Amino acid sequence: MLNLKKIVLICLLYLLHFPVFADKKPYKEIGAYRVFYSAFNSSFILPNIAEIYGIARGKDKGLVTIGVTIDGKIGGVEAIIAGNISNMLSQQQNLKFIEIKDRDAIYYIAPFKYYNEDFLTFKLTVRTKEEDESFPISFQKKFYYEK
């Protein structure tokens, strides 16, 4: 059975292999680093896995995932990630990221809530443990209630 770590890793790897994302890459390059990002409805996570990590599932709950790699290596590096999301009415939510480590893979997840047909703007700052400077990452996505 897949666990949360494997599901998120599969999602990130899945996004890397499709040229359809040529204009909208699921990552941002910052020097030698690549910061991968994704956001999706929490119902994608299996109930037993959500319980292990304390993730609330529901039609109005989502997760944002962030992974940072260096020089194209698989696995990831440790980072400090902060940020918020806002909707078209400028309502904001601060994101609280938790670190997930699975062997060599390191990534971060944060839960959030949304309304049906909510168009959300994610504004994040990412700083690796090796760098003194934080880098901005932003992206947008429209969310729908899961049935």
**pLDDT string in tens for the chain (147-residue length):** 456 555 554 554 444 444 344 446 789 998 889 999 999 999 988 899 888 888 899 999 999 999 999 987 888 899 999 999 999 999 999 999 999 888 888 999 999 999 999 999 999 999 998 888 899 999 999 999 977
Which of helix, strand or coil describes residue 10? Answer: helix
Counting beta carbons within 10 angstroms of the beta carbon of residue 109, is it exposed (0 to 12), middle (13 to 18) or buried (19 or more)? buried
| Domains identified in the chain and CATH numbers | 4-20+27-143 (2.60.40.3340)
